[in-house]
A and B are shown apart, each in its own frame.
Chain A
Amino acid sequence: SQKIEQNSEALNIQEGKTATLTCNYTNYSPAYLQWYRQDPGRGPVFLLLIRENEKEKRKERLKVTFDTTLKQSLFHITASQPADSATYLCALGYNFNKFYFGSGTKLNVKP
């Protein structure tokens, strides 16, 4: 089965800096890779999706990259704000509707 690695240690950064979160996977590359935000006690909320043939995707202050050679996706938040503090999950989507989620990385943005 697929193994997904997201940094289990919290990422602490200063407000205004760029946060970079990593999602590494083993085995075969997914057709699609999604990123979600999860706040304590809440369900995940969809942020961005990138396809296997796309290198980069942007949405406002968010940017996702996808490197199938490295088997890695990077998730960037520019000009970070304390309100960006949350846990961020990556999810690998395969044909036949199979999804694998990482355990997430907690981001703390300090004012």
Chain B
Amino acid sequence: GAGVSQSPSNKVTEKGKDVELRCDPISGHTALYWYRQSLGQGLEFLIYFQGNSAPDKSGLPSDRFSAERTGGSVSTLTIQRTQQEDSAVYLCASSPQAGADQPQHFGDGTRLSIL
């Protein structure tokens, strides 16, 4: 399809394991965002990419979280040594270019559950 694709859609893992979440943005979109949504909470900004570089990593909760984007396209969000408080839905969005006036196109997220 032509939309933002995220995988896996669901992930259940044990505390202490590492997880990798993937985002395929809309082709040609240069800006890519990662958010976290906990039950009943707003979207919490994690990181955004302009091309392959990440001008703003301020939202990453701890050094266990990292993200990369290669080829200006696919992005992966990695969480090391997962904790129960990492359980949430992780959403990825892309837009044609960076800018506060740009609508964001979201994927349906990865629902992460840490046992």
Name A's B-contacting residues (CB within 8 A). 4, 8, 30-32, 34, 41-46, 49, 51, 89, 91, 93-104
Contacts and interface: CB of A to CB of B under 8 A. Distances in A.
A93 B103 CA distance: 10
B55 interface: yes
Interface of B: 4, 31, 33, 35, 40-43, 45, 48, 50, 55-56, 91, 93, 98-101, 103-109
A43 B107 contact: yes
B58 to A, nearest CB: 9
B108 A43 contact: yes
Given A89-B43, A104-B42, A99 B100 contact: yes
Contact of A51 (B55, B99, B101): B101
B108 A31 contact: no
B44 to A, nearest CB: 8
B101 A32 contact: yes
Given A43-B91, A43-B108, A104-B42, A97 B100 contact: yes
Given A49-B103, A94-B100, A42 B108 contact: yes
Contact of B48 (A42, A43, A89, A97): A97
